[in-house]
DNA sequence: TAGGTGACGGACC
DNA sequence: CGGTCCGCCACCT
C-alpha cells in the first residue's frame, strides 16, 4: 500500500512538529531527521503544505536552516501568517522574514537544563 | 514516460 | 553578507 505510506509520512511530520515547544523553532531538516527521513527536508515542506488550515499543529515553528521564513507566492500569504504567529510567540522576525534561529532552536531531549551557551551580543 | 518544479540544505563565489 | 549552483526526492503537467 504505497498510497498509505505517503499519507503516513505526512502524519509523522505533523506529529513531530506538534512536539515543538512554544516559543522555539525547528528546521525542516531537523523534523526530517526526527522522523527518520534524513535528507528529506524537502518532503517535510510538502507535508506542511498539505496541512489543512486552520490546524492545531504549530507549523509556523518550522523554518529553513537559513533561519528565515520561506517567502513564496505559492503559499498565498501563509508565509505572512507564519511571521505574525512567530511574533505573537515572542520571536523577533525581520521584514525579510529572517529570525534568530540559533537563539530559539529547539533541542529535542534537552527540555531541561539550559545547555546552550548564552550567546552574548 | 519524461521533464520541470519546489514551505530544503550545503558548498561556492 | 548575499547571490548562485548542485544534490536531493516527491509532486505536477
Residue located via cell numbers 533541542: A107
Report the nucleotide nearest the CA of residue A49, measured to C1'. B7
Which pLDDT does position A4 carry in this prediction? Answer: 52
- Is any atom of nucleic acid chain B found less than 7 Å from the CB of residue A44? yes
| Per-residue tens of pLDDT for chain A, all 121 residues | 444 556 789 999 999 999 999 999 999 999 999 999 998 999 999 999 999 988 999 999 999 999 999 999 889 889 999 999 999 999 999 999 999 999 999 998 877 665 444 443 3
Q: Determine, yes or no, domain membership for A13.
A: yes
Residue A27 CB closer than 7 angstroms to strand B?
A: yes
Q: Is the CB of A78 under 7 A from strand B?
A: yes
Residue A114 domain-assigned (yes or no): no
**Distances, alpha carbon A116 to alpha carbons A5, A7, A64, A84, A96, in Å:** 37, 36, 20, 26, 26
Q: How many domains would you assign to chain A?
A: 1
Residue A113 lies inside a defined structural domain of this protein? no
Give the containing element (helix H, strand E) for A92: none
In this structure, is residue A12 part of a structural domain? Answer: yes
Burial degree of A33 (CB within 10 A; 0-12, 13-18, 19+): middle
Structural domain harbouring A43:
2-104
- Give the domain CATH number at A54: 1.10.10.10
pLDDT of residue A108: 87
In a domain, A61, yes or no: yes
Nearest alpha-carbon partner for A35 in A18, A56, A54: A18
Amino acid at each position: 500500500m504505497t498510497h498509505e505510506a505517503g499519507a503516513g509520512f505526512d502524519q509523522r511530520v505533523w506529529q513531530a512538529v506538534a512536539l515543538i515547544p512554544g516559543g522555539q523553532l525547528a528546521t525542516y531538516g531537523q523534523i526530517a531527521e526526527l522522523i527518520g527521513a534524513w535528507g528529506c527536508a524537502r518532503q517535510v515542506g510538502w507535508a506542511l503544505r498539505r496541512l489543512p488550515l486552520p490546524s492545531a499543529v504549530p507549523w509556523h515553528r518550522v523554518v529553513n536552516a537559513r533561519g528565515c521564513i520561506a517567502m513564496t507566492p505559492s503559499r498565498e500569504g501563509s508565509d505572512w501568517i507564519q511571521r505574525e504567529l512567530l511574533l505573537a510567540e515572542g520571536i523577533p522576525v525581520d521584514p525579510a522574514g529572517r529570525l534568530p534561529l540559533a537563539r530559539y532552536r529547539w533541542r529535542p531531549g534537552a527540555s531541561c537544563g539550559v545547555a546552550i551557551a548564552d550567546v552574548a551580543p
